[in-house]
Amino acid sequence: MMQVEVTSQALAAMRAAAAAAHPSEACGLLLGEGARITEARETRNVHPAPQTHFEIDPQALIDAHRAARGGTGPEVIGYFHSHPAGPPAPSATDRASASGDGRVWAIIAGRDVKFWMDGEQGFVALPFTMIDG
């Protein structure tokens, strides 16, 4: 099973985004290389019901993929979002909107952050290690 490495800065950024967006859901991109997340980049939540759903700003996602392909930015490892009320686990809505593309999802509830792999068989919990950065 894959283990994710995440920088302390990326964890702090996700927690700060979740706190600032409350009672709406925060969301953003997990950037880095391989299984190492070095940046959590907050994006606008463009979903019309942000209290219970999230949708990453499509332009931010396109820009991040372009930068990664062009060699001027880190790769898009996955996504993060917060659950203002509920556990840091994939909700029914998350499961319904997941694409099974193998990306990593981080879900924040309060200060608790859990990582998940969005695989063909659904979400699988991933262990993580915090690293300096």
Q: How far is CA 15 from the centre of its chain?
A: 11
Furthest CA-CA distance within the chain: 38
Q: Clarify whether 25 is annotated catalytic.
A: yes
Contact 1, 31 (CB under 8 A): no
Q: Which of 25, 39, 42, 55 is catalytic?
A: 25
Contact 82, 17 (CB under 8 A): yes
Q: Which residues are catalytic?
A: 25
